[in-house]
Amino acid sequence: MFLWFHKMASPRFFYRLAEILIPWFAACTAIIVVWALYLGLIVAPPDYQQGESYRIIYVHVPAAWMSMFVYMIMAVSSAIFLIWKMKIADIVAEVSAPIGASFTFIALATGSLWGKPMWGTYWVWDARLTSELILLFLYFGYMALRTAIENRSSAARAAAILALVGVVNIPIIHFSVEWWNTLHQPASISKLDTPSIHKSMLIPLLMMMGGFKLFYLVNMMSRARTAILEREGGASWVRERMAQDRL
């Protein structure tokens, strides 16, 4: 088991694995997202109160979800990197940051577009939105720290510490609705037993979430491959590989 884990962690193996998986995952992402968008935007009925404008949840909710999910991945891989010094964990954390920041930005932008018809204003300083904004700042800080420290191994460890410190922010995001009890409606899918969202609307939403997750994996793996090549440029397997590809 540990051997497998260790093998998995070698950049070379990861590079090869990602190469095989990316096309499959990319195809799945495309199919699922297109299908979910069709179900969500065309098939699903309008909401009894919000009419058509609720349909933005098919982008907003998965993006908000991913913004936190990606940060958790960053924090977990940072912890793995600090404890077991696993190179690939650092690479995953590094390449995930810009993707997570993009998801956060999408969640903020779509949330504010949704806020106009729902709350009567583009931006409300409520708990959810504010913590999402803080999350975006955290991503920015993480990326800035990485680029500021020139020594790569120091940068990796410093950034990992920062990611773990920032993870304190994630529970604040999650429980902020209860803490500040303001305008933002409580999370719709927190109650799995009796979802308060109708089935015809829920299924496309869940599909979108799956699609976003796959999209993240594709994106992360292809970025990680580039990062591996950049870091391991001197290693013999990379040179062999490149020579092969040229033929």
The two tokens of residue 67 are 């913004």
Nearer to another protein, 38 or 179 (CB): 179
Nearer to another protein, 196 or 226 (CB): 196
By CB under 8 A, the residues from 118 to 147 that bind another protein are 118-121, 124, 130, 134, 137-138, 140-141, 144-145
Q: How far is the CB of 127 from another protein (least distance, A)?
A: 9
The least distance separating another protein from the CB of residue 152, rounded to whole angstroms, comes to: 12
Identify whether the C-beta of residue 46 lies closer than 8 Å to the C-beta of residue 117. Answer: no
Contact between residue 49 and residue 185 where contact means Cβ atoms under 8 Å apart: no
CA 135 vs CA 33, 124, 147: distances in Å? 25, 16, 19
* Shortest separation between residue 41's beta carbon and another protein, angstroms: 15
| Residue 96 dihedral angles phi and psi, to the nearest 5° | -75, -30
156 touches 90 (CB < 8 A): yes
Phi and psi (nearest 5°) for 51? 65, -135
Instruction: Answer yes or no: are the C-beta atoms of 32 and 207 closer than 8 Å.
Output: yes
User: Per CB under 8 A, does 103 bind another protein?
Assistant: no
- Interacting positions 46-75 with another protein (CB under 8 A): 46-50, 54, 57
Local structure of residue 185 (DSSP, 8 states): P
14 vs 40, beta carbon nearer another protein = 40
Quote the least distance from Cβ 156 to another protein, whole Å.
9
Place of tokens 């303001």: 182
C-beta separation of 11 from 87 below 8 A: yes
- With contacts defined by CB under 8 A, name the span among 3-11, 99-107, 175-183, 225-233 that binds another protein: 175-183
Size of the site for another protein (CB under 8 A): 50
The yes or no reply on residue 112 touching another protein (CB under 8 A) is no
The DSSP secondary structure of 80-130, one letter per residue, reads: HHHHH--HHHHHHHHHHHHHHHHHHHHHHHHHHHHHHHHHSSS----HHHH
- Residue whose CB is less far from another protein, 152 or 239: 152
Distance of CA 14 to the CA centre of its chain: 19
Interaction pattern, residues 184-223, with another protein; x per rule: CB under 8 A: -xxxx-------xxx-xx----------------------
Which residues contact another protein (rule: CB under 8 A)?
Answer: 45-50, 54, 57, 117-121, 124, 130, 134, 137-138, 140-141, 144-145, 148-149, 151, 154, 157-158, 161-162, 164-166, 168-169, 172, 179-183, 185-188, 196-198, 200-201
